[in-house]
C-alpha cells in the first residue's frame, strides 16, 4: 500500500525527532501511563501491526501520519517545507491532512494519535494493558526479589552472629572450666600428694596416678555439689514465692537478700570456696590445709597470631648467632626452656619451618628457675629419660596428644615425677601450618618459673623439620 510506504518514512522521522516533545509530557497521564510513554507504545504497535493485524483506509493512514508529523515537528510551516513534485499526489494529500491539524500542540497531537488508533483498532488497548501488567509484574518481582535478598542477607548475618556468639560462649565456658579445675588442682595438690605418699610410699609413679585421679574426682564432686545446692535454693525460693505471694510479697525479697531469684545463684558462686571444703574424700591421715596451696596463680590464656613475611623472618633468624635454627628429627620432640627474667613481665615467641608443619605447645613449670639461661632439650621417641616429654600423667593430663604414664617405666623416671615442680598447660600441643606463615604469640608472666616451648615431630615417621625460632621478653 502506497500510504503504508509513506507512513514508514514518517516513522523514521519520528524516531529521530520524537524526543523533541515537551519534557512535561512525562507528567501527563493517560490510561494510567505517562502520555509520552503511551505514545511510543502506540507508534510501535502501529508500525508492527499495520498491514498485518490491522488494515486501515487511505484517509485514516493520512490522519495518523499527520498526527505523527505534528507531534514530531509542530504545526506545518509551508515557507520552510521543501517543494513537492508535480506528480507527488500522496505528498500533497499528506500536507493537506497535516495542515488541517492547525496549531494544536505536540502533546495534543500525541493524544489525538492515541485516540484515533484506539478508535480504529480495538486490539490496541488490550495490547497496552498487557504491556502495563507485564511491567507491573516485573516491578513487583524486582521488589520481591530485593526484599528476599535483603532478608537472606539479614538472616545470614544473624546466623553468623549466632554462630560467633555460641563459639564465644563455648570458648568462655571451656576457659572457665580449665581455670576452675587448675585452681582446684593447685589448692589440693599438696594435700593429695601427702595422702598419695601414705598410700604408695616409695612409689612416685603410682602416687602421680592417684593424685590425678583424686583431682579429677574432686572437680566433678565439687561441680555436682555446687549444682545441687543451687537447685535446692532455687526450689526453696520458688516454694516461698508460691506460698507467700498473696499474704506477704516481701518474703521472697527477704529470703533472696533483696535481688529476687538471681541472688541465690550469686550467693552460690560467691561461696564456691566454702563448697569445696565439703568434698567427700576419706583420708587415712588428715593433711594440714594451711600449707602452700595458694602459691600458684591461675594461668591466663596466651595470645597467638600469624605473620605472612616468612622468608624475611627466616633470613633474620639465620643472620643471628645461629641459636634460633634447630633440626628436629623424625620422632623427636624439642623443648626450649625459657626461665622468667626478673626484669621482664611478658614472654614473646615466633617460629616457622621449612616445607612441613610441626606440633607446638607451651607449658609453665612453677618454681624458682635453676638458671637464667635459655636451654634446648631433645627427646627421642625411643628414649626413657626424665625430661618433660615423659611426664605425661603429671604434666599433660589435659593434652589429648599426650600419652599416659606406663607402669613399666624405670624407677629413675618415677623418682623424677615425684620431685618435679607442678606444671600448668598454657597452650596444648597441636600441629601448626608454620611452613606457610610465621606463628607468633605472647604470654604474661603468671609468676616465677620456666616456660617450656615444645616443638613436637614425634608423629612424623620419615621427615625431619628445620625449625627457626625467636624468644624474647619485655618489661
Q: Catalogue all structural domains in the chain, each as residue range(s) with its CATH number.
A: 27-121 (1.20.80.10), 148-230 (no CATH), 303-382+420-474 (2.60.120.680)
From the first residue on, what is the mean pLDDT of each consecutive set of 10 residues in the chain (475 residues)?
A: 39 40 57 87 87 81 89 85 81 86 90 90 88 89 94 94 93 90 87 82 88 85 83 83 53 38 39 40 37 56 88 89 82 94 90 94 92 85 44 40 40 50 91 94 92 94 92 85
C-alpha cell at 241: 514465692
**What pLDDT does residue 199 have?**
78
Give, as one character, the DSSP assignment of residue 423.
E
Give the pLDDT confidence score for residue 343 in this predicted structure: 85
- Residue 299's pLDDT is 80
The pLDDT of residue 256 is 36
For 161-277, strand residue ranges (E) read: none
pLDDT value at position 469? 94
The confidence score (pLDDT) of residue 259 equals 40
At residue 387, the pLDDT reads 43
pLDDT at 403: 39
CA-closest candidate to residue 237, choices 223, 221, 224, 251: 251
pLDDT of residue 189: 87
Alpha helices (runs of H) in 74-203, residue ranges in sequence order = 89-100, 106-120, 124-199
Pairwise CA distance, residues 423 & 439, whole Å? 23
CB 355 within 8 A of CB 459: no
Amino acid at each position: 500500500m502506497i500510504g503504508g510506504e509513506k507512513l514508514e518514512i514518517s516513522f523514521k522521522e519520528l524516531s529521530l525527532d520524537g524526543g523533541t516533545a515537551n519534557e512535561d509530557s512525562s507528567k501527563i497521564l493517560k490510561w494510567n501511563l505517562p502520555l509520552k510513554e503511551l505514545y511510543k507504545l502506540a507508534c510501535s504497535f502501529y508500525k508492527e501491526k499495520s498491514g498485518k493485524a490491522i488494515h486501515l483506509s487511505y484517509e485514516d493512514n493520512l490522519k495518523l501520519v499527520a498526527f505523527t508529523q505534528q507531534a514530531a515537528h509542530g504545526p506545518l510551516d509551508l515557507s520552510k517545507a521543501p517543494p513537492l513534485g508535480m506528480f507527488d499526489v500522496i505528498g500533497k494529500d499528506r500536507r493537506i491532512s497535516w495542515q488541517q491539524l492547525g496549531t494544536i500542540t505536540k502533546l495534543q497531537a500525541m493524544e489525538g494519535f492515541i485516540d484515533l488508533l484506539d478508535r480504529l483498532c480495538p486490539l490496541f488497548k488490550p495490547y497496552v494493558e498487557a504491556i502495563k501488567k507485564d511491567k507491573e509484574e516485573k516491578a513487583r518481582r524486582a521488589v520481591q526479589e530485593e526484599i528476599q535478598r535483603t532478608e537472606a542477607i539479614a538472616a545470614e548475618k544473624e546466623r553468623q552472629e549466632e554462630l560467633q556468639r555460641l563459639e564465644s560462649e563455648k570458648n568462655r565456658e571451656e576457659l572457665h572450666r580449665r581455670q576452675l579445675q587448675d585452681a582446684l588442682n593447685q589448692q589440693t595438690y599438696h594435700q593429695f600428694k601427702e595422702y598419695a605418699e601414705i598410700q604408695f610410699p616409695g612409689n612416685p609413679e603410682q602416687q602421680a596416678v592417684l593424685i590425678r585421679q583424686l583431682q579429677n574426682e574432686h572437680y566433678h564432686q565439687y561441680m555436682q555439689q555446687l549444682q545441687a545446692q543451687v537447685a535446692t535454693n532455687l526450689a526453696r525460693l520458688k516454694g516461698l514465692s508460691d506460698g507467700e505471694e498473696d499474704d506477704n510479697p516481701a518474703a521472697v525479697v527477704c529470703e533472696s537478700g533483696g535481688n529476687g531469684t538471681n541472688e541465690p545463684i550469686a550467693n552460690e558462686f560467691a561461696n564456691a570456696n566454702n563448697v569445696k571444703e565439703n568434698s567427700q574424700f576419706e583420708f587415712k591421715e588428715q593433711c594440714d590445709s594451711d600449707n602452700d596451696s595458694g602459691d600458684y596463680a591461675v594461668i591466663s590464656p596466651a595470645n597467638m597470631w600469624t605473620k605472612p613475611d616468612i622468608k624475611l623472618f627466616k633470613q633474620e633468624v639465620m643472620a643471628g648467632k645461629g641459636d634460633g635454627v634447630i633440626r628436629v628429627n623424625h620422632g623427636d620432640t624439642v623443648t626450649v626452656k625459657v626461665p622468667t627474667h626478673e626484669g621482664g613481665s611478658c614472654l614473646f615467641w615466633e617460629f616457622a619451618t621449612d616445607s612441613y608443619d610441626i606440633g607446638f605447645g607451651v607449658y609453665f613449670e612453677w618454681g624458682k628457675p635453676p638458671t637464667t639461661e635459655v636451654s634446648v632439650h631433645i627427646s627421642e621417641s625411643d628414649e626413657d629419660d626424665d625430661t618433660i616429654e615423659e611426664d605425661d600423667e603429671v604434666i599433660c593430663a589435659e593434652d589429648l596428644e599426650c600419652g599416659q604414664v606406663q607402669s613399666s617405666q624405670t624407677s629413675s623416671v618415677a623418682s623424677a615425677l615425684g620431685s618435679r615442680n607442678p606444671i600448668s598447660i598454657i597452650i596444648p600441643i597441636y600441629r601448626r601450618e608454620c611452613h606457610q606463615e610465621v606463628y607468633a604469640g605472647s604470654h604474661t608472666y603468671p609468676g616465677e618459673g620456666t616456660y617450656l616451648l615444645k616443638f613436637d615431630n614425634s608423629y612424623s615417621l620419615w621427615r625431619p623439620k628445620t625449625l627457626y625460632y625467636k624468644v624474647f621478653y619485655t618489661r
